[in-house]
Amino acid sequence: MLKLIRYLKPVILEVIISVILIVAQVMLQLRIPNEMADVSQYIAAKDTQSIWEMGGRMLLLCLGTLLISIIISFTTSRIGSYFGRELRTEIFKKVTSFSVAEYDKFGVSSMITRTTNDVQQVQQIFMMGLRILVQAPAMIVISVIYASRLNMKLMTVLLVSIPIILIFIVIIAVIVFPLMRTWQSKIDRSTLVLRENLTGVRVIRAFVREEEESKRYDAANRDLTRVTIKANRVMSLLFPGISLIMQFTYLAIFFTGFMDFDNKSAVVVFSSISSIMSVAQYTLQIMMAILMVSMIFVFVARSKVSADRINEILNSKSNLINPESPIDLDKTELNGQVEFKHVSFAFPGAQEKSLYDISFTAKKGETTAIIGSTGSGKSTIINLIPRFYDATEGEVLVDGINVKDLDEIQLRQHIGFVPQKALLFSGTIKDNLRFGNNATDEEIEKAAEIAQAKHFISKKENGFDSQVTQGGKNFSGGQRQRLCIARALAKNAEIYVFDDSFSALDFKTDVKVRHALKKYTKDSTVIIVGQRVSSIMDADNIIVLDEGKIVDQGSHEDLLMRCSVYQEIVKSQLDQDEVENTIRMNKKIKEEKEEN
């Protein structure tokens, strides 16, 4: 938790002021019993004037303590708020810099919990803890000093009881801290199940799995409840235990003090009673301070686990490391050629590779398509281009430069990427299409027209200013996919990557998009991952994958003649007449190209 103190830097002045005010408050508060120690002398001397003066001083001390307490409340609230803001911002920056491997390692649900619940726990300890952890030790030390001046013999009782209380707190801590760590992991699990049910509600209802999913959440909830009850049972011993020890201490002080009254004059006894009462008051203050520490201990136990989980993210090193002196793409003659040289890849922690010795070249002005069965490694290949992952072996080159030698942000600025899952952000259509860069209205309309999205956008009342809900749920799957394609095209990038981005389009729209795309990207490198033969058959080069290996590559017509894997894919989607028609259509296209 101490590592997180650096995020108090913006409010360090408020922290210093708060510490000074807290100590001042304690000193004023503890002056009251000291004033009361002299009351017996004033009463014995019947000095009414001194009693009134003492009362006035005590009133001023109370008012001063109240005023300082109000100021401290304002400063600690400001400290906690700024601390939470800085910490959440730092976590967000760190998370957004993660590679896909780190997202897989932590899990989205866990990262959400760490950014919200864990930060709140640590923020709370800094708001309350700063006050209590400064106030309580100051109160104990100053009370011991004041009480020892009045009666050193009575102080021996405190010097015995305080170590006993500290030992008791340490024993509780040893038991509770592991339970708090388990408690946080159970919260992660509960959040994960809840998130899966909320995002997958349609699938759950379609397969009539409501009862089973309810049982799954109940199981996760029961685990969380069981750990919570176990931790609370241990913590419930803390306050009664400390109170019991302090009550015995309180009685021991009176017993020890009254034992000295034998064979002493009434005046001495009367004076001693005032000392005993003052020491008892200081003992009460010490007891309250220890109870405050015990109270904050509950939050410390939780906050320590939360702080460890936050530090786990902040101290995590990304697998994708930018070079110290990256090559500036803007200073090179950028053509957008992408080349894979003997690339192999294995996911972190996997025993087997997902890709084996992949080699191909995607040239400027050409379309390179990748096809294969499910799990053959198509998406894995294109994820290596923008450096979502780094190749385990071999090189991924852009214009002859290894992508590991490029700044990843600059590299991605030159890539128009359409992911497999069409994802839109809340805002307007225009905001989403400008997500890649600050495209002009003309460029946005052109991109939407090529993606065959302009037609349904124009039908909306506000056109491009129409609202998009979170995830684009107010659009159909095909419409979301076309908007994602338009978003990539609006970047005017040198490299376009489409990860199965035409799967939700009907055949007619698919043909229109590909035809318009061919003209628009004639000066760019286009890489398409497809499941449908009809989406990729007009590509200049088709790469056929099987179990992470390239079995063949070439044109649609050539692969139909010689590649058995490609023949199986085609035959599973098209009948014999359609296969022959595609061959004839390709021959006709080639002849037209040669004539032109």
Q: Is residue 324 part of a domain?
A: no
**If DSSP codes are grouped into helix, strand and coil, which group holds residue 463?**
helix
**Burial of 317 (C-beta count, 10 Å sphere; 0-12/13-18/19+):** exposed
Distance, CA of 32 to CA of 34 (rounded, Å): 5
More confident residue, 248 or 580: 248
Q: What is the pLDDT of residue 44?
A: 59
Q: Is 192 within a domain? A: yes
Cα(170)–Cα(179) distance, integer angstroms: 15
Q: Has residue 439 got a pLDDT over 50?
A: yes
CATH number at residue 195: 1.20.1560.10
Whether residue 519 is found in the same domain as residue 476: no
pTM of the model: 0.67
> Has residue 171 got a pLDDT over 80?
yes
Same domain flag for 570 and 442: no
Quick: pLDDT tens for 560-574: 888 888 888 888 877
User: In 3-state terms, what secondary structure has residue 395?
Assistant: strand
Model pLDDT, residue 582: 55
Q: Concatenated DSSP letters for 495-525?
A: EEEEESTTTTS-HHHHHHHHHHHHHHTTTSE
Q: Are residues 52 and 150 in the same domain?
A: yes
Mean pLDDT of 399-422: 88
pLDDT of 264 > 60? The answer is: no
Res. 119: pLDDT tops 80: yes
Nearby residues of 260 by Cβ (< 8 Å), 6 or more positions away: 153, 272
How is residue 19 written in tokens? 């510490």
- Which residues does 349 contact at the CB level (< 8 Å), separation at least 6? none
Task: State which of 282, 314, 346 marks the end of a domain.
Answer: 314
pLDDT at 69: 87
Residue 573 lies in a domain: yes
Which helix (H) or strand (E) is 397 found in, with range? strand 393-398
Whether 110 and 52 share a structural domain: yes
Residues 504 and 467 in one domain: no
Hey, what amino acid is at 427? G
Return the pLDDT at 260.
Answer: 62
DSSP state of 116: I
User: Domain total for the chain?
Assistant: 3
Range with the poorest average pLDDT among 36-45, 310-319, 361-370? 36-45
Amino acid at site 80: G
360 and 289 in a single domain? The answer is no
Using alpha carbons only, how large is the chain's radius of gyration in Å?
A: 36
Closest CA to 423 of 477, 381, 382: 477
**Distances 223 to 127, 184, 226, 545 between C-alpha atoms, Å:** 30, 11, 5, 45
Mean pLDDT score, 437-460 = 88
Mean pLDDT score across all residues of the chain = 82
CA 309 to chain centre: 10
How would you class 59 by CB atoms within 10 Å of its CB: exposed for 0-12, middle for 13-18, buried for 19 or more?
exposed
What pLDDT sits at residue 163?
Answer: 84
Let me know whether 477 and 577 are in one domain: no
Shared domain check, 552 and 480? no
pLDDT value for 578: 64
Q: Which of 125-134, 159-168, 507-516, 519-528 has the highest mean pLDDT?
A: 519-528
Q: How far apart are the first and last CA of the chain?
A: 71
Strand partners, 266: none
Average pLDDT estimate for 131-157? 78
Are 110 and 126 within one domain?
yes
Determine the pLDDT at residue 122.
85
The reply to whether 563 and 446 lie within a common domain is no
What is the mean pLDDT of the segment spanning 172-180?
81
Is residue 477 located within the same domain as residue 545?
no
- Give the span between the Cα atoms of 586 and 556, in whole angstroms: 8
Question: Does a structural domain hold residue 321?
Answer: no
| Average pLDDT, integer, range 468-482 | 86
Gap between the Cα atoms of 278 and 147, Å rounded: 7
CA–CA–CA angle 19, 23, 28 (5° rounding): 145
495-499 and 415-418 beta bridge pairing: parallel
The least confident of 70-79, 331-340, 548-557, 570-579 is 570-579
How confident is the model over 241-251, as a mean pLDDT? 81
d(CA 536, CA 369): 6
Answer yes or no: is 322 within a domain.
no
Phi and psi torsions of 183, nearest 5°: -60, -45
Q: Going by C-beta distance under 8 Å and a sequence separation of 6 or more, which residues neighbour residue 467? A: 426, 427, 428, 474
Q: Choose among 98, 109, 110, 101: nearest CA to 349.
A: 101
Please check whether residues 436 and 560 belong to one and the same domain: no
In a domain, 319, yes or no: no
Identify the CA nearest to 354 among candidates 101, 559, 552, 571.
101
- 287, 314, 341: which is the final residue of a domain? 314
Mean pLDDT of 240-249: 82
**Contact call for residues 524 and 353 (beta carbons, < 8 A):** no
pLDDT at 302 over 60: yes
pLDDT at residue 266 in the model: 47
Average pLDDT over residues 509-529: 85
Give dist(CA 73, CA 131) in Å, integer: 9
Domain range for 588: 329-414+493-595
Reported confidence tier of residue 38, pLDDT bands at 50, 70, 90:
low
- The count of C-alpha atoms lying within 13 angstroms of the C-alpha of 323, restricted to the half-sphere facing its C-beta, is 14
∠ CA 71-76-82, nearest 5°, is 130
Tokens of 344: 């192999």
In terms of Cβ atoms closer than 10 Å to its own Cβ (0-12, 13-18, 19+), residue 149 is middle
Q: What is the mean pLDDT of residues 28-44?
A: 69
- The CATH number of the domain holding residue 409 is 3.40.50.300
Residue that terminates a domain, selected from 458, 492, 526: 492
Q: Does residue 320 sit within a domain?
A: no
Window from 144-153, 376-385, 386-395, 540-549 with minimum mean pLDDT: 144-153
- Structural tokens at position 555: 């044109």
Q: Can you name the residues that pair with 526 across neighbouring β-strands?
A: 367, 496
Strand partners of residue 528: 369, 498
